[in-house]
Amino acid sequence: MIRMEGIHKHFHDLHVLNHIDLDVEKGSTTVVIGPSGSGKTTLLRCLKLLDFPDQGTLSIAKATMTFSGEVKLNKTDIRSIRKHTGMVFQNYNLFPHLTVLQNIMEGPVIVLKQSSKTAKDKALSILDKVGLRDRADYYPHQLSGGQQQRVGIARAMAMNPEVLLFDEPTSALDPELVGEVLKVMKDLAFEGMTMVIVTHEMGFAKEVADQVVIMDQGAIIERGTPADIFDASTNERTLQFLRKVN
Ligand code: ADP
């Protein structure tokens, strides 16, 4: 579903992604972990083309784009990649002046040109799935952080993406609200959604990930199944990181 080949990204002199090669199978869950500043968020942002790689090739579903410093990016190519992914942010990024239902309908109506009726029916069925149908007419500030993040997930799902990208979706939440968000993500994984998740929730990674990717200083230093990484890694930098978070 996703292939990154030789992806590089600089911010000025900082080499933030250093030759990233990554494959993500359709229907699988990939969890990306690693120290702060190792490039995890930038990797996700490059998958959504919120940041553009300087070099390398990115394929998502049937769309492919090759980046090289000199060539100007083509807007049609950018759109053809972007439409395959939905992103869930750490701070939810909901529109404060719109209700839950309106937040979820906005993308399908404005971008996908769906009728209000179609978008509303779909939004309500997704709200059922994330357990928030009874909050459809609430505004974000009337919800807990965990509920707001479940709306964030619902909003991403409403665009029918083939891949969901999560950037530390539970980091801003009080500990007692983390479980309800992880539960929604787990349900999605078991239903076969393709997901790439940056998180510090090691228990979730062990239980749900098909592939765990360890990043350090802009590079993928190791990747494998949870058993490969958590029980059998011999990589000193991986072990050092795992000692810190456990
Ligand atoms: P992580 O998600 O692993 O904490 P990030 O991808 O957020 O890492 O950041 C990687 C490095 O890139 C950090 O050193 C960060 O300060 C830097 N960085 C991220 N975004 C920008 C930006 N827009 N401009 C300049 N530097 C950035």
pLDDT digits over 219-239, tens only?
A: 999 999 999 999 999 999 999
User: Contact at 8 Å (CB) between 220 and 214?
Assistant: yes
- Summarize the confidence of residues 176-198 as an average pLDDT: 97
User: Contact at 8 Å (CB) between 194 and 163?
Assistant: yes
Written as six digits, the tokens of 94 are 């909901």
Structure confidence at residue 129 (pLDDT) = 95
Can you tell me the distance from the alpha carbon of 166 to that of 160, in angstroms, rounded to the nearest whole number? 15
Residue 14, exposed/middle/buried by CB under 10 A (0-12, 13-18, 19+)? Answer: exposed
- The rounded Å distance from CA 56 to ligand 1 centre is 19
How far from the centroid of its chain's Cα atoms is residue 80's Cα? 18
Place of tokens 């030789």: 6
Closest protein CA for atom 20 of ligand 1? 42
Structure confidence at residue 246 (pLDDT) = 75
- Around ligand 1, the residues with Cβ closer than 6 Å are 11, 14, 16, 34, 36-42
Written as six digits, the tokens of 155 are 């909003």
What is the length of the chain? 246
Triad 140, 88, 221: Cα angle to 5°: 150
Can you tell me the distance from the alpha carbon of 122 to that of 20, in angstroms, rounded to the nearest whole number? 36
Indicate whether 241 pLDDT > 80: yes
Indicate whether 21 pLDDT > 80: yes
Q: How confident is the model at residue 245 (pLDDT cuts 50, 70, 90)?
A: confident
- The rounded Å distance from CA 47 to ligand 1 centre is 15
Can you tell me the distance from the alpha carbon of 14 to that of 16, in angstroms, rounded to the nearest whole number? 6
Structure confidence at residue 152 (pLDDT) = 98
Q: Which atom of ligand 1 is nearest to the CA of 38?
A: 3
Give per-residue pLDDT as tens, 133-165: 999 999 999 999 999 999 999 999 999 999 999
- The rounded Å distance from CA 118 to ligand 1 centre is 39
- The rounded Å distance from CA 14 to ligand 1 centre is 9
Closest protein CA for atom 18 of ligand 1? 11
Structure confidence at residue 69 (pLDDT) = 76
Structure confidence at residue 65 (pLDDT) = 94
- The rounded Å distance from CA 9 to ligand 1 centre is 10
Q: With pLDDT > 70 as the criterion, what percentage of the chain qualifies?
A: 99
Structure confidence at residue 2 (pLDDT) = 98
Structure confidence at residue 74 (pLDDT) = 86
Indicate whether 73 pLDDT > 90: no
Q: Quick check: ipTM above 0.90?
A: yes
Q: Which atom of ligand 1 is nearest to the CA of 167?
A: 2
Give per-residue pLDDT as tens, 23-51: 999 999 999 999 999 999 999 999 999 99
Give per-residue pLDDT as tens, 86-125: 999 999 999 999 999 999 999 999 999 999 999 999 999 9
Structure confidence at residue 240 (pLDDT) = 95
**Mean of the per-residue pLDDT values of the chain:** 96
**Nearest to 161, CA basis, from 222, 86, 93:** 86
Task: Please give the radius of gyration of the chain, using alpha carbons only, rounded to the nearest integer.
Answer: 18
